[in-house]
Amino acid sequence: MAQEPQQLPAVHEAWLPREHPLHRPRHGGKQLTALISAMVFFVMPTLLWVFGVRPGEIENHRLAGFPSVSAGWGFFTALPTWGTDQLSFRTAAIEAADGISRGVFGEPLPHDQGGTSNSGPLPGGLPPANGDTPTPGADLGPVDQAGYRQVIEGKDGWLYYGVDAEAKCAPNRPLADTIKLIRQIRDLVVASGRQFVWVVPPDKSTMVPQFLPASYPGKECQQAAEGPTWSQLDAAGVLDLRPELRAVATQLNRPVYTPDDTHWTDEGSLSLTRNVAEAVQPGVTKTWRSPAIGSYTGSADLPKLIGKSGTKTSVLYNLLPDGATNRAGPIITDIETPSVHDSAPITGTVNTKTLVYGDSFSIASSRYLTGAFSNLTLLAYSTTKTDTQQAVDQFVAARTVVLETVERAVSAGALPFFDDGFIDQLRTALEQHPVR
């Protein structure tokens, strides 16, 4: 006789004896706790906003906006970023976690990489505009690797950008391949009748290694790669600023980088400007004067990457190409689209139409570059606002091309103009528009 199918018990399966094969524990309490936690995380920022509490930009990026429902699944994937950025108490939480880490483990809170760019955070504190005397107190990368630090905490309060180490230890492509691709670009530019200058600002960790900690992730491979890196760059004809930067540091009795920022001080910007001008037009700087006119203090970029704040101070200079006329201008913060700057030629200025295709070090140096070149276009190579063809058009329009790539970007090999058919489009455009 066939057996009747087994019936479910009359009670909830959670109430059955644990030995019963149909016993299932009740999870309602845990599920409710998780639901309440999620609601607090996402709703609390809104409630705090209603009562006048505003989150601050404690990292080196703008706060994420509320995601659009039209983004489909992107709405849900973007919610955590929005929620995290809107936590008004995040600064206190980070400071508390850092204090616990130091007190319990004897080391700072680790901040692993989170999609940082190769060139570095954008310059924070901006110098005053053209010729103004400052008043005191005036205001693209390697694949993320576990273990590397976004910011390396050194001795005597010095901070270093962690990508300096990661770029050499875990590059996207071998340095020889990166140099080969840039040589292709150089050869195309030169064959078209144009000048080409490649300048590589050195990493802060290269120029000021004395404050690096005794150990940090990637230290051994970074230091082992530094010498070979510069040997290959020098052999490739790079404009090497290291000797002059060391000489200036010796003369000033201080580094040309500041403790809390990854960019150099204005002495480094002047060095880049002077060396590039000489490479384009030898002897042009013999009439130059660059007197100091004061100093300025602004926001430092590295503390922001670890949820803190800090300042940097730099001496400010004027640039007098003819020895008498100041041509230093305001810093140019937006070079995501071509930023064109024209001025009347005077003695000591380079007057050929010049494109500086660079990164955040071009921004940091723009006050002096616009004073030294009477017909200058600045454009970032990492921008998404200017497509490949528009960038190629700027090469065609120029008579001199200056490629500026910070050391870590070259070491990583993650230069975005290697992609999207840039070199092929550049070859076609320059062959069609030679300069004779």
3-state secondary structure 283-297: CHHHHCECCEEEEEE
Q: What is the pLDDT of residue 142?
A: 46
Q: What are phi and psi of 241, to 5 degrees?
A: -90, -5
What SS3 class is residue 182?
helix
Alpha-carbon distance of 428 to 436, in angstroms, equals 17
Residue 346 domain-assigned (yes or no): yes
Q: What is the pLDDT of residue 115?
A: 42
Q: What is the pLDDT of residue 144?
A: 43
What SS3 class is residue 350?
strand
Q: What is the pLDDT of residue 113?
A: 45
Number of structural domains the chain divides into: 1
Alpha-carbon distance of 319 to 274, in angstroms, equals 10
Residue 187 structure tokens = 């050869």
Query: Residue 37: which residues within 8 A CB-CB, separation 6 or more?
Result: none
Alpha-carbon distance of 206 to 45, in angstroms, equals 42
Residue 59 domain-assigned (yes or no): no
Element (H, E) at 151: strand 151-153
For 288-390, list the strands marked E by DSSP.
292-299, 311-317, 339-342, 354-358, 375-380
Q: What is the pLDDT of residue 434?
A: 97
Q: What is the pLDDT of residue 67?
A: 74
Q: What is the pLDDT of residue 292?
A: 97
Residue 405 domain-assigned (yes or no): yes
What is the crossing angle of helices 266-280 and 360-372, to 10°? 60
CB 190 within 8 A of CB 136: no
Residue 110 domain-assigned (yes or no): no
Residue 195 domain-assigned (yes or no): yes
Alpha-carbon distance of 130 to 367, in angstroms, equals 8
CA dihedral sign, ordered 277, 278, 280, 283: positive
Residue 83 domain-assigned (yes or no): no
Residue 180 domain-assigned (yes or no): yes
Element (H, E) at 432: helix 422-432
Residue 399 structure tokens = 């008579």
How high is the mean pLDDT in each 10-residue block of the chain (436 residues)?
A: 60 69 65 71 65 57 66 69 62 53 54 50 59 42 61 96 95 96 97 98 98 95 96 97 98 97 97 98 98 95 91 97 97 96 98 97 97 98 94 98 98 90 96 92
Q: For residue 386, what are the CA distances in angstroms to 80, 255, 338, 379, 392? A: 29, 35, 8, 9, 10
Element (H, E) at 200: strand 195-200
Residue 100 domain-assigned (yes or no): no
Task: Using the structure block, give the residue that is written with the tokens 């017909």.
Answer: 375
Beta bridge partners of residue 296, listed in sequence order? 314
Residues of the domain holding 366: 151-432
Q: What are phi and psi of 28, to 5 degrees?
A: -55, -40
